[in-house]
């Protein structure tokens, strides 16, 4: 297992290098000049040239990339074009809120999807199956921004039981319960989309397993149907489900961008929108690189979880 993990990490190095190239050139080839957004409208051409020189924007793009890559290897992501604050500090302040939101959303998604998917498979072609399938289609089809605005309207404006946005109440105690109340809506909105697609995967995987001979043997031995389904069948059905976990991370990251903006959640998603709007290239490139690393690590984690779910899987 250890050798396999080391090998996967070594394979990830050239992948990350390719990501840095693509990331840097795509961001810097975007239309618009960041200097024009921050400099005084009365500034002369000489003032603009001085500002570009100070930011290193006058160098050829491959030189800019080389300097950026060398600094990245040193742990220096540069300074923001908007706040002039080190990018690493801005990201470190936003990582925990995003991890809290994404982790809670993922837990909610699987707490919803796995039981519903199992019930749908066991009750195949029943009204329960049709009802759960309808739920999954609705979860996938409804855009997160529409669901988020609807949730704010119902639970915050009409019922007035949950806050409209933010992570803490302004001027409040900022305690655990206050953060929990602010987390409920964005986590459920983000988790619902993941749960909608996951129900279909769980159902399909369970249907493949439920017809296996070893489950008939387990029933013939007198085991209760609950034990047969939730212990023997579910564990083998987890293999394709674990694969989907690695695919859910990019969906969570993309969904967090929209959800955090709707609920004004102070995470990386909101910072991404701000960086795009202000052409803050260093911040945007750092966030993209962090997202790529997250996807690679989640795929590695999925491979490791295979052997946990099924001891027959060995890595050599």
Instruction: Give the residue ranges of DSSP H helices in 165-267.
Output: 176-210, 213-220, 225-227, 234-262
124 belongs to a structural domain: yes
Do 162 and 271 share a domain, yes or no? yes
> At residue 120, does pLDDT exceed 80?
yes
Do 42 and 174 share a domain, yes or no? no
What's the CA gap between 87 and 93, in Å, rounded?
10
Do 108 and 157 share a domain, yes or no? yes
81 belongs to a structural domain: no
Length of the chain: 316
Do 69 and 194 share a domain, yes or no? no
Do 104 and 51 share a domain, yes or no? no
Banded pLDDT at 172 (limits 50, 70, 90) = low
Banded pLDDT at 173 (limits 50, 70, 90) = low
Do 137 and 67 share a domain, yes or no? no
Q: According to the model, what pLDDT value does residue 187 have?
A: 92
What's the CA gap between 27 and 31, in Å, rounded?
9
Do 146 and 275 share a domain, yes or no? yes
Arithmetic mean of pLDDT, 114-129:
87
144 belongs to a structural domain: yes
Do 185 and 46 share a domain, yes or no? no
Arithmetic mean of pLDDT, 120-148:
86
What's the CA gap between 190 and 207, in Å, rounded?
27
Q: According to the model, what pLDDT value does residue 155 have?
A: 92
Element (H, E) at 134: helix 127-141
Banded pLDDT at 38 (limits 50, 70, 90) = low
- What's CA 305's distance to the chain center, in Å? 19
Q: According to the model, what pLDDT value does residue 39 have?
A: 64
225 belongs to a structural domain: yes
Do 70 and 108 share a domain, yes or no? no
Q: Among 33-47, 74-88, 90-104, whose mean pLDDT is lowest? A: 33-47
Mean pLDDT of the chain: 82
Arithmetic mean of pLDDT, 255-273:
87
27 belongs to a structural domain: no
Do 162 and 273 share a domain, yes or no? yes
217 belongs to a structural domain: yes
Q: Among 29-38, 49-58, 128-137, whose mean pLDDT is lowest? A: 29-38
Q: According to the model, what pLDDT value does residue 229 have?
A: 82
Arithmetic mean of pLDDT, 223-234:
79
| Residue that finishes a domain, picked among 20, 50, 76 | 76
What's the CA gap between 186 and 266, in Å, rounded?
12
Arithmetic mean of pLDDT, 256-265:
88
Do 133 and 205 share a domain, yes or no? yes
Looking up residue 297, the CATH number of its domain turns out to be 1.10.3720.10
Range of the domain at 57: 33-76
Query: Under 8 Å CB-to-CB from 151, ≥6 apart: which residues?
Result: 185, 188, 189
Q: According to the model, what pLDDT value does residue 209 have?
A: 83
What's the CA gap between 295 and 279, in Å, rounded?
24
- Residue 86, strand partner residues: 79
| Residue that finishes a domain, picked among 47, 76, 105 | 76
> At residue 32, does pLDDT exceed 70?
no
Residue scoring higher pLDDT (102 or 240): 102
Q: According to the model, what pLDDT value does residue 263 have?
A: 92
Banded pLDDT at 185 (limits 50, 70, 90) = very high
> At residue 153, does pLDDT exceed 80?
yes
Burial class (CB in 10 A: 0-12, 13-18, 19+), 33: exposed
Query: Under 8 Å CB-to-CB from 50, ≥6 apart: which residues?
Result: none
User: How many domains does one find in the chain?
Assistant: 2
193 belongs to a structural domain: yes
DSSP state of 110: H
298 belongs to a structural domain: yes
Do 100 and 62 share a domain, yes or no? no
Own/partner contacts of 78-82, CB < 8 Å, gap of 24 or more, are: 78/282, 78/286, 79/282, 80/280, 80/282, 80/283, 81/34, 81/38, 81/55, 81/278, 81/279, 81/280, 81/281, 81/282, 81/283, 82/38, 82/274, 82/278, 82/280, 82/283
């Amino acid at each position: 297992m250890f050798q396999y993990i080391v090998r996967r990490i070594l394979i990830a190095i050239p992948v990350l290098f390719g990501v840095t190239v693509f990331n840097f050139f795509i961001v810097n080839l975007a239309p618009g000049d960041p200097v024009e957004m921050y400099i005084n409208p009365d500034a002369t051409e000489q003032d603009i040239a001085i500002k570009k020189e100070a930011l290193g924007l006058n160098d050829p793009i491959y030189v800019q990339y080389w300097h950026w890559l060398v600094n990245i290897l040193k742990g220096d992501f540069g300074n923001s074009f908007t706040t002039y604050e080190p990018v690493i500090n801005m990201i470190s302040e936003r990582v925990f809120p995003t991890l809290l939101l994404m982790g809670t959303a993922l837990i909610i998604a699987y707490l919803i999807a796995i039981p519903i998917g199992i019930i749908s498979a066991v009750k195949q072609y029943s009204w329960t199956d049709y009802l759960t399938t309808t739920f999954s289609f609705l979860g996938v089809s409804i855009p997160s921004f529409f669901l988020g605005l609807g949730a704010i309207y119902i639970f915050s404006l009409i019922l007035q039981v949950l806050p409209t946005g933010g992570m803490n109440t302004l001027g409040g105690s900022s305690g655990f319960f206050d953060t929990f109340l602010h987390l409920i809506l964005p986590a459920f909105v983000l988790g619902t989309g993941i749960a909608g697609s996951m129900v279909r995967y769980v159902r399909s995987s369970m249907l493949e397993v439920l017809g296996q001979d070893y489950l008939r043997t387990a029933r013939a031995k007198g085991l209760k149907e609950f034990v047969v389904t939730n212990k023997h069948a579910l564990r083998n059905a987890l293999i394709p489900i674990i694969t989907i976990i690695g695919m859910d991370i990019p969906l969570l990251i993309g969904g967090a961008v929209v959800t955090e903006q709707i609920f004004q959640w102070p995470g990386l998603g909101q910072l991404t929108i701000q960086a795009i709007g202000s052409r803050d290239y260093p911040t945007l490139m750092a966030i993209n690189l962090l997202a790529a690393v997250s996807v690679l690590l989640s795929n590695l984690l999925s491979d490791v979880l295979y052997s946990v779910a099924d001891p027959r899987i060995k890595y050599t």
